[in-house]
Amino acid sequence: MLKRSVSHRKWANAVLTVLGLSAVLLAGCKSDNPAPSSIPVKLSSSSQMASSSSVEETVIDTTVSDTAIADTLPADTSVLTPATKESVVSSSFLNASSSSVQQSSSSEVVVQSSSSEVVVDSVAPVIMDSSNQEVVLEELPQEVAPDTVKDTVAAVETQEDTSLCANVPATVLCDKRDGQLYRTIHIGSQVWMAQNLNYAVASSWCYRNSLENCSNYGRLYQWTAAMNLDKAYSHSSAGNLIEEKHQGVCPEGWYVPKDSDMETLVSYVKESNKASGLATEEVGTSLRKETGWEENDEEILGTNRYGFAAIPAGYRDANGAFAFLGEEADFWVAEEESSGTQASHWSLYYANQTFSGEFRNLKTFAFSIRCLKK
């Protein structure tokens, strides 16, 4: 009975031994194939170290805290993006070997080995906020975007060519700078503007600062403004800056007349009047508009025989006072006195029939401008 019990006990022990070995073998198989779940860990020199020679590990470090991750990632980290590699490797915290880790349940940094995705909660990711960029762009003045500025200028030029000055008859001048229209007239060999210029520049004025007067009579220009010169030449000679056909403030293709151009006009009107049996009619009467002039005792009325349509726009003197609206028409020419302080102008007066260029005045006076086609 005793022998049987011993034999039976040995057999039972053998069975238990076999079962134990099987359990050990099964546990070993499971440890060779870990589940893809995350294993949070924490590096610590004083922690309990576990050997993992059968597993290739990657240590993740952050410069913010001691928190790091170890998981069964391949030794080749090329599967990580460059930015991730920089986050994983830290020379300032690589104090532990790749085979030594401490498990910690408090780590918040997790590596998903199954998808090769690294999520580092303790490191703020660098993200470009597109909404901020949009705000910055909206706040930028349009001037700092060169391409936009060029497109805008091109659109304006196109509008001037196709809208402001579209379908304008040949007898009408369209100023592309502001879209204003002017009648023009052939007189002999010349083509004149049949209205006073009304293009706004510095040192030019409407009579008594009334926009209605600008609309009716054009603007009054100081000589330097009419010549498109620096105001410094109001008191000194412009010399060679005055060209033969000087455009000045006139539209492109037109210019401010010289004394010789005015003399050509006067000569043509005289000869034409004589040929028409109107030798007694003076040039001033022939060039003056029929209406708008002050009445006079001599009952001299304009005939506007050649369409020049001179109107009495008056002038502004050097002190800023306006005078002679309805009585006098004065036109600057591209001429100046040798002293440089005075310039020539031609004048029509309501009480006589002459049109004379014998007048000189300070360049700081403001007179009308009639442009002549080049």
Give the Å distances, CA to CA, from 287 to 170, 174, 284, 323: 22, 23, 5, 22
CB 255 within 8 A of CB 247: yes
Burial class (CB within 10 angstroms; exposed 0-12, middle 13-18, buried 19+) of 164: middle
Range with the poorest average pLDDT among 91-100, 322-331, 359-368: 91-100
| Per-residue pLDDT at 71 exceeds 90 | no
Q: Which residue has the tokens 């349509």?
A: 309
For 168-198, what is each residue's pLDDT tens digit? 887 899 999 999 999 999 999 999 999 999 9
| Cα–Cα distance, 374 to 368 (Å, whole number) | 19
CB atoms within 10 A of CB 38: 16
For 267-314, what is each residue's pLDDT tens digit? 999 999 999 999 999 999 999 999 999 987 777 789 999 999 999 999
Smallest CA-to-CA distance from 69 within 27, 97, 18, 111 is with: 111
Q: What is the mean pLDDT of residues 44-53?
A: 39
3-state secondary structure 225-268: HHHCCCHHHHCCCCHHHCCCCCCCCCCCCEECCCHHHHHHHHHH
| Cα–Cα distance, 359 to 342 (Å, whole number) | 10
Q: What is the mean pLDDT of residues 335-346?
A: 95
pLDDT for residue 164: 80
Terminal C-alpha separation, the chain:
144
DSSP state, residue 164 = I
pLDDT for residue 19: 55
**Does 146 or 200 have the greater pLDDT score?**
200
Percent of the chain residues past pLDDT 90, beyond the cut: 52
Instruction: Give the global pTM.
Output: 0.58
